[in-house]
Amino acid sequence: MFDHLFTTKPVGKGTGLGLSIAYKIIVQKHKVTLEVNSVLGKGSEFIITIPIY
Report which DSSP code applies to 28: I
pLDDT of residue 16: 60
- Give the pLDDT band of residue 14 (cuts 50, 70, 90): low
Is the CB of residue 32 less than 8 Å from the CB of residue 26? Answer: yes
Q: Is the pTM of this model over 0.75?
A: no
- Cα separations in angstroms, 15 against 3, 5, 11, 47: 12, 6, 10, 24
- Burial of 51 per CB tally in 10 Å (0-12, 13-18, 19+): exposed
CA-to-CA distance for 3 and 20, rounded, in angstroms? 6
Residue 6 has pLDDT above 70, yes or no: no
